[in-house]
C-alpha cells in the first residue's frame, strides 16, 4: 500500500483536526512533502503538534520520517541533479528544499542507526589504534572523497591510517592487511566491483572490515559475515539518477560518529596532541 492509499484508508478513523491535515496531503502531496510544518499547520487550520500527531497516526515516527518517505514516492525532482527540487525553483525554494531534504534524512538516520554496530566498529578501531595496527579507508568516486575525509580525521588521533580510491592500490593494500588491522569500506550503491574485491581480500587476510553502505547490497552482505561490521546507511536517493547529496552527508556523519567514539576511547592522553595541532595551525593563519 502506498503512502497516499494508507492515508485514504485511515481517513475515516482520524480525529477531525487530523482529517484536515490528511485532506491537505491528498490534495497536493508534492507540496506537503516540501512545506515546513508551520505552513502545513496554517493551511490545515490546525496546530503544529497536530501535524506531527497525524504522521504518527498513519504509522510513521513523526513529520521528518513521513516527509522523507512521501518525497521518495511523489517527488521525482530533477534527474541527475537533485531529487527534491524542480526545474523552475528559485534560490529561496532551493534553500528550503535542499536543507529540508538533508535534515529529514539525517533525522531518519539518527532514529535508524544501529548503536550495537557502531559499538563493535568503535571497539575494533580503538583496539587497532592501541596496538599500532593499520586502519585503512577505501572508496571510489564520491565515496573516495569521503574516505579521504575519514583518513584526515583519523590520522590526527595518532593512528596508522591511509585512504585509497584507486582499485588497484586497494587490492594491493588489502592483500597486506593482517589480523588486528581494520579496513573501512565506504560505498553508496554497495555494488562497486573494486570495493567488493577489496573487502573480500581484507576479510580473508583476517582484518576487520567495517562497511558503510546501503543495506541489502552485495557489499552489505559481506559486512554481515562473522567478525565483520555493517553500518547500514539507507536513504531514498537513487544513485543511478541523482548526484550524491544526502548519501554523502550521511556517510560523513557515520565517519564523524566513528571518529568521536574512538577519540573518547583513546582517553585523556590524546588531548594534548590535539591541542598542540591546533596551536601549530594558528601560525598558518594570515589574518587575526
In the chain, the domains with their CATH numbers are 3-112 (1.10.10.10), 115-280 (3.40.50.10490)
Q: How far apart are CA 252 and CA 15, in angstroms?
A: 41
Rounded to an integer, what is the distance from CA 50 to the centroid of its chain?
29
Contacts of 102 (CB under 8 A, 6+ apart): 245, 246, 249
How large is the average pLDDT for residues 233-243? 73
With cut-offs at 50, 70 and 90, classify the pLDDT of residue 137.
very high
With cut-offs at 50, 70 and 90, classify the pLDDT of residue 192.
very high
Q: How far apart are CA 288 and CA 251, in angstroms?
A: 34
Residue 173 has pLDDT above 80, yes or no: yes
Q: What is the pLDDT of residues 51-81, one digit of tens each?
A: 999 999 998 888 988 988 887 676 566 766 7
Q: What is the DSSP letter of 70?
A: H
With cut-offs at 50, 70 and 90, classify the pLDDT of residue 127.
very high
State the pLDDT at residue 131: 93
Amino acid at each position: 500500500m502506498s503512502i497516499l492509499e494508507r492515508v485514504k484508508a485511515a481517513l475515516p478513523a482520524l480525529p477531525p483536526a487530523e482529517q484536515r491535515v490528511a485532506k491537505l496531503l491528498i490534495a497536493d502531496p508534492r507540496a506537503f512533502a516540501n512545506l515546513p510544518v508551520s505552513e502545513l499547520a496554517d493551511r490545515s487550520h490546525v496546530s503544529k503538534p497536530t501535524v506531527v500527531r497525524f504522521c504518527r497516526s498513519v504509522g510513521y515516527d513523526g513529520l521528518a520520517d513521513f516527509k522523507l518517505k512521501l518525497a521518495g514516492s511523489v517527488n521525482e525532482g530533477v534527474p541527475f541533479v537533485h531529487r527534491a527540487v524542480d526545474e523552475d525553483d528559485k534560490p529561496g525554494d532551493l534553500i528550503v528544499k535542499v536543507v529540508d531534504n538533508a535534515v529529514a534524512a539525517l533525522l531518519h538516520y539518527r532514529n535508524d542507526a544501529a548503536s550495537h554496530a557502531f559499538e563493535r566498529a568503535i571497539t575494533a578501531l580503538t583496539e587497532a589504534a592501541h596496538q599500532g595496527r593499520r586502519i585503512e579507508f577505501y572508496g571510489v568516486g564520491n565515496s573516495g572523497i569521503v574516505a579521504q575525509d575519514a583518513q584526515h580525521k583519523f590520522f590526527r588521533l595518532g593512528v596508522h591510517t591511509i585512504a585509497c580510491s584507486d582499485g588497484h592500490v586497494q587490492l594491493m593494500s588489502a592483500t597486506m592487511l593482517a589480523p588486528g588491522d581494520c579496513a573501512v569500506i565506504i560505498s553508496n550503491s554497495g555494488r562497486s566491483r573494486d570495493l567488493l574485491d577489496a573487502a573480500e581480500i581484507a576479510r580473508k587476510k583476517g582484518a576487520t572490515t567495517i562497511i558503510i553502505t546501503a543495506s541489502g547490497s552485495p557489499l552489505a552482505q559481506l559486512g554481515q559475515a562473522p567478525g565483520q561490521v555493517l553500518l547500514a546507511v539507507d536513504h531514498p536517493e537513487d544513485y543511478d539518477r541523482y548526484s550524491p547529496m544526502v548519501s554523502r552527508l550521511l556517510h560523513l556523519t557515520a565517519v564523524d560518529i566513528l571518529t568521536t567514539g574512538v577519540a573518547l576511547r583513546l582517553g585523556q592522553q590524546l588531548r594534548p596532541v590535539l591541542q598542540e595541532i591546533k596551536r601549530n595551525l594558528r601560525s598558518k593563519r594570515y589574518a587575526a
